Amino acid sequence: MFEKVLIANRGEIALRIHRACKELGISTVAVHSTADADAMHVRLADESVCLGPPSPTESYLNIPAIISAAEITGADAIHPGYGFLSENARFAEIVKAHNITFIGPTAEHIRVMGDKIAAKEAVGSVGIPLVPGSKGALADIKQAYAAAEEIGYPVLVKAASGGGGRGMKLSPTKADLAEAMNTAQSEAKSAFGDDNVYLEKYLGRPRHIEIQIIADAHGNVAQLGERDCSLQRRHQKVLEEALSPALTPEDRAEIGKIAREAIANLGYLGVGTIEFLWEDGKFYFIEMNTRLQVEHPITEQVTNIDLVREQIRVAAGHALSFSQDDIKFQGHAIECRINAEDPKTFRPSPGDITYFHAPGGPGVRFDSAIYSGYRIPPFYDSMIGKLIVWGDDRPHCLARLKRALQEMALVGVDTTLPLFLDLLEQPDFQRGDYHIHWLEDWLAEK
Ligand code: ADP
C-alpha cells in the first residue's frame, strides 16, 4: 500500500480522499493556493504545500508545482480528485515519468475517452449502444447535410473535445445546420483549441443515467448500478438519485452487464462512469468519465462500498475486496449539490460563513469542507457541500431529505438550499417523473 498520497485538489473532494487515506493508514499531503491557506483539507492533512496564487492555472492546474510538492514531501502517489487535472492525460504521463503512481486509469484510456469521437468508436466496438450519429468528425457542411439526412432532424452538433456543455448546438431543421455547425466549431476552437465536430440525433426528453464501474489490475470488474442525474441546469447536475426511479430491474441488469463486459474488454483500471441518455426504454452512450464523480456517494450508500478506498487499493495493485455477486442494492439515496449561489438567479455568492450547523441523524451524510467562520473564496466552483441522504426506499429517503434540509443552518452567504425544499414539493419530482429538461422548464415557470 502507498505510504503517502498527495491530494491534488481542494474542497470537499480533497477531504473525502484524505478520509479514505487515513482509514487505510496512509499519510496525506494537501496542496493549496494562497486563497486556501485556511481550508479544512489543509488543516487536516499531515503535511501541506502552497502551490501559488489563487488562479487555478497558477495553483491547482500548475503541474510543475504539484510534481515538486510530491517530490519534496516524498509522496508515492497522487490522487487528482475530480475536475482540475483529473482527466488530463499529459498530467497522468508526467506523474508516471516521476515514478509516482497516478491514482486513476492509464493516460491512454484518459486520452481516448477525452475525445468524444474516439470514445464512441472505442466503446461502440465493445458493445455499448450509441446515439445514432455521423461516422467520425465532419469534414465540411456537405458531409453534415448527408449525415443529418440519414439520422433525421433534429440533430445536435457536438465538439469532439467538448465538456461542461460547451461546443454543443441544436439544429432543429436543415435550414439551421450550417449556422449550428459554424457556431459549434468556433466555440470549440476557442474553448478547447480543437474545432472537430460531429453530429448526433437529438433526443427530446431523455433521462441521464450513468453506470459506475470499477476494475482492478487482476482482471476483476464490477458494475455498481446506476445513478439518475436527469435534474440538470445548463447541463450541470443539480440533484442525483441511486438507483433510478425509472429503470426496471430488467433494464438495470441488462445495461449493467453490457457496461461490465465492455470495461473488461477495454482493459480499464480504476473507477469510471459510463454516461447514457435513456429514452423509450433504450440506452444511448454519450461519454465516459475516467475519474471519481461528484455524485459517487449515492452509489456508496446503496451498495455499502467505499469507492475511494477501493480506488486507492486497486491503484496500489490490490484486487477488488468484493466480487460482483457481493453487490446487493439496498434502499434509496439522493444527493443535493449545495452551491453558494443565489437560489433564484444562480449568481455566485462567495464570502464569510458566519454560522453553520450541519444536518445529521440516521441516513444523513454531509460531505463538505466548510465550517463556521470559513471564507468562501471567489476563485473556484461554487459547490460548498453535498447533502447525501439514504432511506429504506424512495419515500423514506424523501422524508429524510426534507427534515435534513430543514435542519441545516448556514448564515452569511446565499445557498441553493431553498431550491431543494421547493423541489421536494413538486408532484413530478415526488413521482420520480422527470427528464433532462424538466428542471429548467420548472425554473422558467417558477
Ligand atoms: P459535456 O461533456 O459537455 O457535459 P455530454 O455529451 O456529457 O457533454 O452531454 C451533456 C448533456 O447534454 C447531457 O447530460 C444531456 O443533457 C445533453 N445531451 C448530450 N447529447 C445529447 C443528445 N444527443 N440529445 C439530447 N441531449 C443531449
In the prediction, which pLDDT does 163 show?
83
In the prediction, which pLDDT does 61 show?
97
Cell readout for 438 is 424538466
In three state form, how does the secondary structure of the chain look? CCCEEEECCCHHHHHHHHHHHHHCCCEEEEEEEHHHCCCHHHHHCCEEEEEECCCHHHCCCCHHHHHHHHHHHCCCEEECCCCCCCCCHHHHHHHHHCCCEECCCCHHHHHHHHCHHHHHHHHHCCCCCECCECCCCCCCHHHHHHHHHHHCCCEEEEECCCCCCCCEEEECCHHHHHHHHHHHHHHHHHHHCCCCEEEEECCCCCEEEEEEEEECCCCCEEEEEEEEEEEEECCEEEEEEECCCCCCHHHHHHHHHHHHHHHHHHCCCEEEEEEEEEECCEEEEEEEECCCCCCHHHHHHHHCCCHHHHHHHHHCCCCCCCCHHHCCCCCEEEEEEEECECCCCCCECCEECCEEECCCCCCEEEEECCCCCCEECCCCCCEEEEEEEEECCHHHHHHHHHHHHHHCEEECCCCCHHHHHHHCCCHHHHHCCCCCCHHHHHHHHC
Question: Which of 211, 226, 235 has the most ligand 1 atoms within 8 A of CB, as the residue to mutate?
Answer: 235
User: Which residue has the least CA distance to atom 6 on ligand 1?
Assistant: 286
Measured from the CB, is residue 378 less than 6 Å from ligand 1? no
**Contact between 8 and 30 (Cβ < 8 Å):** no
In the prediction, which pLDDT does 374 show?
97
Measured from the CB, is residue 132 less than 6 Å from ligand 1? no
Q: Cα–Cα distance between 86 and 8 in angstroms, integer? A: 9
Query: Contacts from 417-425 at CB under 8 Å and sequence distance 24+?
Result: 417/338, 417/343, 418/343, 419/238, 419/343, 420/239, 420/336, 420/387, 422/446, 423/231, 423/239, 424/398
In the prediction, which pLDDT does 28 show?
98
Task: Give the number of the atom of ligand 1 that is nearest the alpha carbon of residue 164.
Answer: 3
Measured from the CB, is residue 287 less than 6 Å from ligand 1? yes
pLDDT in tens, the chain (446 residues): 999 999 999 999 999 999 999 999 999 999 999 999 999 999 999 999 999 999 999 999 999 999 999 999 999 999 999 999 999 999 999 999 999 999 999 999 999 999 999 999 999 999 999 999 999 999 999 999 999 999 999 999 999 998 877 889 999 999 999 999 999 999 999 998 999 999 999 999 999 999 999 999 999 999 999 999 999 999 899 999 999 999 999 999 999 999 999 999 999 999 999 999 999 999 999 999 999 999 999 999 999 999 999 999 999 999 999 999 999 999 999 999 999 999 999 999 999 999 999 999 999 999 999 999 999 999 999 999 999 999 999 999 999 999 999 999 999 999 999 999 999 999 999 999 999 999 999 999 98
Task: Give the number of the atom of ligand 1 that is nearest the alpha carbon of residue 436.
Answer: 16
One of 16, 252, 291, 365 is an active-site residue; which one?
291
Contacts (Cβ under 8 Å, ≥6 apart) of 219: 264
User: Per the confidence metrics, is the pTM higher than 0.85?
Assistant: yes
Task: Classify 322 in phi/psi space as left (phi over 0), alpha (psi -120 to 50) or beta.
Answer: beta
Question: Which of 87, 120, 168 has the most ligand 1 atoms within 8 A of CB, as the residue to mutate?
Answer: 168
Measured from the CB, is residue 237 less than 6 Å from ligand 1? no
CA of 202 to the centre of ligand 1 (A): 9
CA of 193 to the centre of ligand 1 (A): 20
User: Which residue has the least CA distance to atom 12 on ligand 1?
Assistant: 235
In the prediction, which pLDDT does 165 show?
78
User: Which residue has the least CA distance to atom 2 on ligand 1?
Assistant: 163
CA of 353 to the centre of ligand 1 (A): 34
Measured from the CB, is residue 240 less than 6 Å from ligand 1? no
CA of 321 to the centre of ligand 1 (A): 34
CA of 112 to the centre of ligand 1 (A): 18
| 227 carries an active-site annotation | no
Measured from the CB, is residue 439 less than 6 Å from ligand 1? no
Task: Give the number of the atom of ligand 1 that is nearest the alpha carbon of residue 235.
Answer: 11
> Domains in the chain, please, with CATH?
4-87 (3.40.50.20), 132-201 (3.30.1490.20), 207-445 (3.30.470.20)
Task: Give the number of the atom of ligand 1 that is nearest the alpha carbon of residue 167.
Answer: 3
CA of 235 to the centre of ligand 1 (A): 7
